[in-house]
Amino acid sequence: MKRRSFLTTAAAGVAAGAVSAPAIAQAQPKIQWRLASSFPKSLDTIYGAAEILSKRVSEATDGRFQIRVFAGGELVPGLQVLDAVQNGTVECGHTAPYYYVGKDPAFAFGTALPFGLNARQQNAWMYYGGGLEAMAALFKDYGCVQFLSGNTGAQMGGWYRKEIKIVADLKGLKMRIGGLAGQVVAKLGVVGQQIAGGEIYQALERGTIDAAEWVGPYDDEKLGFHKVAKYYYYPGWWEGGPQLSTVVNLKKWAELPKGYRSAFESACAEANVHMVARYDAKNPDALRRLVAGGSQLRQFPRAVLEACEKAAFELYAELGARSKHWAAIYPGWKKFRDDQHLWFRVAEHGFDSYVYSSRAAASTRK
C-alpha cells in the first residue's frame, strides 16, 4: 500500500485536463459507508477527526463516496469499534488501538506506550520508522487496515480525589486508565478500569472510581471532571503522543476504486494534522479556566514517575512471551525511541527548556 501516493495521483488528474474530470467522476460508483467512532459528539476535537475525514472524502469524490459518522454508543459501544469493523457491522471506525490490548498487547503501539514517544516522534515512527508496516501485520490478523487519523499530543495525568504524594498513595486506588498503563500501575497497587469517554463522569461522581484520566484541559472541562475531583495531575506519562486511527475492514478496502482509496488516505492524513493542532490551540485557555475555578494543579512527584517507569519496562520485558506481534515490533520501536530521545534532547529540549524559563519572555507578560 502506497501511503503517500495521493499527490502523484492528484497531479496526474490535473494534467489530464479539467474537461474530462466530470466524466471521470460520473463513471465512479456511488458508495456509502458507516463509520463508528469510539467518542461522544460533545468532544469536537477527537470526535471531529472523523467528521473531517467524512467531509474531505465526499468533496474529493464529488459526493459519490459518502461516509456517515456515528458517535460512540450509537451503533456499537465505544470500546467495541474494532470488533464491529472486523465482523463487517460497519465498514470503518475511528478509535484508539490501545483500547484492544486485551486482544493483543501490541495494539498499544498503535496509540501510545507509557514513557514512549511524543506526538511528533509517533508520527515519525509510523510514517518513516517502519511503524505502519509493523502494525499492518497485526491489523491484518483482525481483518482490518489502519490509517493514522489524529493525535492529542501529551496528555494530562488525570483527576484525583486525593493528592498523590508518595508511591504508596497509589495502592488501592481505583482508576479509569486506558491501554497498557493500567497493567503498569497495577504493579503498584492501582485497580485500573477501562471505561469509555462518555461514561467516565458518572463513574467518578458515584465513587465507582477514585480517579480518572482522559485527554487534557479542553476535553476534561467539557466532560466536567473538575466538578467531582479536585486534584489535576501532570504529566500523563502513559500518553506522551497518543495516536488515533481509522480502521477499515480489509475486504471493503479492497473493493474501493483506486481514486477513492487515495481520497480516503489523504483525508485521514488531514485529520491527523488537524487534531493535534486543535488541541494545542484549545488547551491553554481551558487550563486557565479550570485553575481559576478552583482545580488544584499538581505535578507527579519524581519518585512516583520513577516507580511507574520501572514498572513499565518490567512489563515490556514480559510481553514478548505473550504476543508474537509484540516480540516482532518492540525491538525496532525501542531503538527508534532511543534514537529520537538522543536527537530531541539536543535540539527540541534545548530550545524548550530555555524559552519556557526565559526571563526576557517573562518580562513581556507583566
* CATH number, position 116: 3.40.190.170
How many whole angstroms separate alpha carbon 241 and alpha carbon 296?
Answer: 24
**pLDDT over 60 at 72, yes or no:** yes
CA-atom Rg of the chain in angstroms: 21
Domain count within the chain: 1
**pLDDT over 80 at 55, yes or no:** yes
| Cβ 191 vs Cβ 172: under 8 Å | yes
Q: What is the pLDDT of residues 163-210, one digit of tens each?
A: 999 999 999 999 999 889 999 999 999 999 989 888 999 999 999 999
Cell numbers 469510539: residue: 38
Query: Is residue 214 domain-resident?
Result: no
* Short-list 220, 101, 105, CA closest to 152: 220
Query: Is residue 323 domain-resident?
Result: no
Determine the pLDDT at residue 26.
Answer: 61
Q: Kindly state the helix (H) or strand (E) to which residue 37 belongs, with its residue range.
A: strand 31-37
**pLDDT over 60 at 2, yes or no:** no
Query: Is residue 341 domain-resident?
Result: no
Query: Is residue 264 domain-resident?
Result: yes
Joined grid coordinates for residue 139? 491489523
Determine the pLDDT at residue 23.
Answer: 43
Q: State the average pLDDT for the chain.
A: 92
This prediction's pTM: 0.90
pLDDT-derived band at 362 (thresholds 50, 70, 90) equals low
Query: Is residue 296 domain-resident?
Result: no
Query: Is residue 99 domain-resident?
Result: yes
The range of the structural domain enclosing residue 86 comes to 6-154+240-280
Cell numbers 475492514: residue: 249
Q: Which residue has the higher pLDDT, 356 or 14?
A: 356
Determine the pLDDT at residue 25.
Answer: 53
- Average pLDDT on 337-354 reads 95
Query: Is residue 14 domain-resident?
Result: yes
Determine the pLDDT at residue 10.
Answer: 38
State yes or no: cis peptide before 242, omega within 30 of 0.
Answer: no
Query: Is residue 336 domain-resident?
Result: no
- Average pLDDT on 60-74 reads 97
* Short-list 127, 165, 113, 148, CA closest to 313: 113
**pLDDT over 50 at 112, yes or no:** yes
Q: What percent of the chain has pLDDT over 70?
A: 91
DSSP β-ladder status, 158-160 and 231-234 = antiparallel
